[in-house]
Amino acid sequence: MPMPGMRVNARDLLLHLDEIHTVMTKSIKSARPPRFRYEWRGEKHLIMQYESNRGLVQLMAGLVRGVGKYYGEYLNVSIVGNAVHIQFP
């Protein structure tokens, strides 16, 4: 997770999402948070592979856009299979 005083933006938060889910659900016995794998295609194109039996990858697109909006960044987001493609400004 970002260290105190470290600049946080949409990219930082999304790149730590897997770790955040793991830490936040550690004390919940039956929790099975989604897992994310990351792949960069260039400097501004991130692919987040969504791994969960719940099949909520479509929900991810809206959540990622919301993260961008929170940080004042327009993120171009699309879904291909179980992957969320994010184009940063």
Among 4-8, 16-20, 80-84, which is the least confidently predicted range? 4-8
Domain presence at residue 5: no
CATH of the domain at 38: 3.90.1520.10
Which tens digit of pLDDT belongs to each residue from 23-82?
A: 878 888 887 888 899 999 999 999 999 998 888 899 999 999 999 999 999 999 999 999
Q: What contacts 1, CB < 8 A, 6 or more positions away?
A: 16, 19, 20, 23
Total count of domains within the chain: 1
Range of the domain at 59: 10-87
pLDDT tops 70 at residue 21: yes
pLDDT tops 80 at residue 84: yes
Q: Is the torsion defined by CA of 32, 65, 1, 39 positive or negative?
A: positive
Domain presence at residue 82: yes
- Specify the pLDDT at position 22: 84
Whether the CB-CB separation of 47 and 38 falls below 8 Å is answered with yes
Domain presence at residue 64: yes
